[in-house]
Structure 1
Amino acid sequence: MSVLQQGDRQEAFARLSRFRGDFYDCLNGRGDALFELTDALLCTDGPVRTLVDLALAPENRRGHGALYGGLNNGHMDIGRLRRTIAGLPLPKAADGRLVLAVDVSPWLRPDAATCPDRSFCHTYGRGDAKHQTIPGWPYSIVTALETGHTSWTAVLDALRLRPGADLAAVTTAQVREVVQRLIVAGQWHEGDPKILIVLDSGYDAPRIAHLLAGLPVDILGRLRSDRVMRRPTPPRVHDPKGGRPPKHGSEFVFGQPDTWGVEQAVTVTDTRLYGKAIAQAWDRLHPRLTRRAAWTDYEGPLPIIEGTVIRLTVEKLPSGGVNKPVWLWWSGTGATAADVDRYWQSFLRRFDVEHTFRMLKQTLGWTKPRLRSPQAADRWTWLVTAAHTQLRLARPLAVDLRRPWERKAELHKLTPARVRRGFRNLHAKTLSPARAPKPSAPGPGRPLGSKNRRPVPRHDVGRVLATGEAYARPAHHKKGTKPRRAGSQAS
């Protein structure tokens, strides 16, 4: 090993140890129990099934009572932890640009009637039940994306969405805080390329771009294939009949090619997975806004939010599914061929977030605990986030402990699960500030045969109307009432 490589490893060890120390400083209440729980989460062999299994790990020197006590009654300075993660080295694109992806992942709790603040979460199933709404806690997660084919992302923020929350407004506030933390941490300076925010089709990309005006960000969002955009307002021509001048230009209908006109830029790229990829771009297109839904209380005339529409078609799909075009909307104008290539490739990197969600849920056991309090769920979510961050920092230090049936992989291409497999060897060499537990005896608990006289309250799943009021079930839908048949007349 060369001197430079040895120096890089020492710096990586020092960076990992500093983060572990800073993470411990963020745990203000029952910090020793929470810190050792995170170590057990990192060092346990195989996927995490239950929290009780983590209490049996050698890294967790406390019992299962301290484990649940830390999650239920502990305290964590989440704001300080957010600033600490924002100051760590982050992946960037080839041009030095930060690319952030925002997506919602649900923590499903369908049978937890005693859990408050549950919402209906949209999920994908198999077979005939592909689209379902299941009660749970939805979390909005912001990650920094890497370039190339990888399953690594840098988780920067996680926020639980409350029932009836305006997704665009909450996402805007979350992204604004993340971007401001990155600027304060020195991740972006004046003159650097704008930070690119990548969104899926569930977000209102034009509205989010309007709300984030003034920040050094570009918005790239996916649009539905049945959308209709408008061109810029045509020059005003004197009409002898009079009348109000038009506010919008002609229509750009996604499903009608005869309304598209001439493209601003066209690129053709040969890819390994998708074959020939063709991207077409049309400049200065905007949606026609109306005073309803989110724009009901908007003061003044409705804005015209112009951007660039990109249509991406590929020759084939690796999964063999239905090959449909992908429509994207970029908040900038005047796109060149290089810009079009960069943006559609950045959007495809958004799917790396799905690998992160799979890692958090299936390997680190993010949604496995049956916690009752949403505050305890938030603490556990940030413990999992801190564990994933430590895996990312330990990436250059990992050794490939592959199974006999697994393929060999280069050290810099190890997946997060394979880095976690050897984290126990790194744990012995890094900083562990948690103190040893004090000897104690378990409490007496409730006497045998006594009844629980304080039943846990039940909570309905949060259903909020567009006006912000709580949903009330109609009287004729309640149990015990006979439904009114169509065509019946009152006597």
Structure 2
Amino acid sequence: MAGFRREFHGCLTARADALFELTDAVLCVDGPVVSLPELSLAGVHRRGHGAMYDALACGRVEVGRLRRALAGLVLPRAGNGGLRIAIDVTPWPRPDAECSPQRLHCHRYCRCDGVRQTIPGWPYSVAAALGSGRSSWVAPLDVRRIGPDDDVTDVTAAQVRGLVARLREAGQLREGDPPVLIVLDSGYDVVRLTWLLADLPVHVLGRIRSDRVMRTPPPPRRRDGRPGRPPRHGGKVRLADPDTWPAPERESTGPHARYGGVRVRAFGRLHPQLERRGTWADHPGPLPVVEATVILVQVERLAHPGAPKPLWLWSSHPVGDTAGLDGLWRAYLRRFDVEHTFRFLKQTLGLTRPRLRTPEQADRWAWLLIAAYTQLRLARHLVHDLRRPWDKPLSPDGMTPGRVRRGFRRIRRAIGNPASAPKPGRPGPGRPKGSLSTPAPRHPVGKKQPKPETIRRNQYKKAHKAKATG
């Protein structure tokens, strides 16, 4: 714990003491973080609110060094000793920040009328190591902001490549270890990610839509001497039509305490028929055939009201045995631990509370909270259960991030503070008389330029519609 705090202080290369004490204030205040000026009133923050804003505006965080420090910590592992990394995107809503650049239309469920599903803001892609049991703890390893010109699939692939390189450098991934399991939700292009990460020791596991159409392997070439090119695709497998499903390679059934009866089937060597559009439009040469194992999970009942729905998963690696099949769909369920972490970061630590102007300031604040959450994870076995009279007692292994945060002030006194004391100073002269301030420039919400094939398709539809209507 003390070693990580010293390393984190070394990662702050400008305004280090102010940024470090700001992180301690997030961990030591009572209740959720509601605003930045309130943090400057905490006892652990020995500087004024002006120094805090100056640190966020002009400070620097050596992100590469901090990423290596996070990869070198003790990480949770699965039963077979492998790492399971969940990657998901969480938005920072900024609908009224017209002066903030690089905003995007972020997906967000709207509770008002259920129609508007996007909101302007900054999307952040977070990678975190998952545990093996039922817990709300994860180990954040990386966070990256997605810009207007970035593709989510390419950003995720680069994020995984950098993460695997750092894990190898830290000794977390050696020769002979199980491949790193990358768990994704339904918003990712798992087919392209499987193709982009084929040279890495990773296992891509993601959810796919239940109305997709897959293809079986092509039949063997005829030996009757007829000319022609051999087929590349076999018969169609419509996930929504059980009559088109082939015989499963693996199947397991059993009871579950929460979902009742669970039936899992694995269909091996299926692939989609790719088309030259979207991310595959500029692919050089013929389109590849990306085969994988498609897993169907059907449960007797769900934890929330509603009819049970089938769950389709894409696995880039073949399923070895029944135990491996059960481990995959249970590993996907552990992905929802990241959702608990997002809620804690936003509602308690105040990830989206500050109204910062530039995205660079938002990146610094996001990394400060990642370091703060990591300190809570390292201190989970060091604090006592300071519970309210109405709270249930928890064991040391069952401590939640909120309970650990209550007792962090005692841990801080024991492990010390690497930040130096503030120097005495006087207020600045302020703005010179007669200086005029110009209005800040307005930035529209970023929108990607349509691809050439999309423009041609829209022009064709428009011309065809005009011809049909006369």
**Which residue pairs with 1:477 in the alignment?**
none
* Shift in Å, 1:244: 3.1
Q: Which amino acid in the other structure matches residue 415 of structure 1?
A: T
The structure 1 residue matched to 2:110, chosen from 111, 125, 131, is 125
Contact 2:250 2:319 in 1 (8 A): no
1:280 is aligned to 2:254: no
- TM-score, normalised by the number of residues in structure 1: 0.90
When residues 354 and 468 of structure 1 are mapped into structure 2, their CA distance, relative to the original with a 3 A threshold, is farther
1:403 is aligned to 2:388: yes
Q: How many residues align?
A: 458
Give the match's secondary structure for 1:102: strand
1:203-254 CA-to-partner distances (Å, cap 9, x unmatched) read 0112101101111110001000110111111101146764432110111110
**Which residue pairs with 1:458 in the alignment?**
442
Q: Which amino acid in the other structure matches residue 362 of structure 2?
A: A
**Which residue pairs with 1:20 in the alignment?**
5
* Shift in Å, 1:453: 2.5
Contact 2:266 2:319 in 1 (8 A): no
Following the alignment from structure 1 to structure 2, what is the Cα–Cα distance between the partners of residues 154 and 119?
27
**Which residue pairs with 2:399 in the alignment?**
414
Matches within 5 A, 1:5-16: 16=1
Following the alignment from structure 1 to structure 2, what is the Cα–Cα distance between the partners of residues 429 and 385?
22
Give the match's secondary structure for 2:331: helix
The structure 2 residue matched to 1:77, chosen from 53, 57, 62, is 62
1:51 is aligned to 2:39: no
* Shift in Å, 1:296: 1.5
Following the alignment from structure 1 to structure 2, what is the Cα–Cα distance between the partners of residues 63 and 404?
35
Following the alignment from structure 2 to structure 1, what is the Cα–Cα distance between the partners of residues 452 and 426?
49
Contact 1:20 1:431 in 2 (8 A): no
**Which residue pairs with 1:424 in the alignment?**
409
**Which residue pairs with 2:332 in the alignment?**
347
1:375 is aligned to 2:385: no
The structure 2 residue matched to 1:157, chosen from 117, 129, 142, is 142
Matches within 5 A, 1:76-225: 76-126=61-111, 128-129=113-114, 132-225=117-210
* Shift in Å, 1:454: 2.3
Gaps of 5+ in 1: 1-15, 472-485
Give the match's secondary structure for 1:246: coil
1:298 is aligned to 2:259: no
Q: Which amino acid in the other structure matches residue 83 of structure 1?
A: R
**Which residue pairs with 1:36 in the alignment?**
21
Contact 1:306 1:333 in 2 (8 A): no
1:251 is aligned to 2:236: yes
1:270 is aligned to 2:255: yes
State the superposition RMSD in angstroms. Answer: 1.9
Contact 2:131 2:138 in 1 (8 A): yes
Give the match's secondary structure for 1:280: strand
- TM-score, normalised by the number of residues in structure 2: 0.94
* Shift in Å, 1:322: 3.4
* Shift in Å, 1:467: 2.8
Contact 2:319 2:325 in 1 (8 A): no
* Shift in Å, 1:451: 7.1
Contact 2:262 2:300 in 1 (8 A): yes
Give the match's secondary structure for 1:170: helix
Gaps of 5+ in 2: 456-465
Following the alignment from structure 1 to structure 2, what is the Cα–Cα distance between the partners of residues 452 and 141?
41
Question: Share of identical aligned residues, percent?
Answer: 54
Following the alignment from structure 2 to structure 1, what is the Cα–Cα distance between the partners of residues 75 and 173?
11
When residues 98 and 402 of structure 1 are mapped into structure 2, their CA distance, relative to the original with a 3 A threshold, is same
Q: Which amino acid in the other structure matches residue 388 of structure 1?
A: Y
* Shift in Å, 1:464: 1.1
Contact 1:308 1:335 in 2 (8 A): no
Following the alignment from structure 2 to structure 1, what is the Cα–Cα distance between the partners of residues 452 and 209?
26
Contact 1:283 1:333 in 2 (8 A): yes
1:360 is aligned to 2:315: no
Following the alignment from structure 2 to structure 1, what is the Cα–Cα distance between the partners of residues 12 and 105?
31
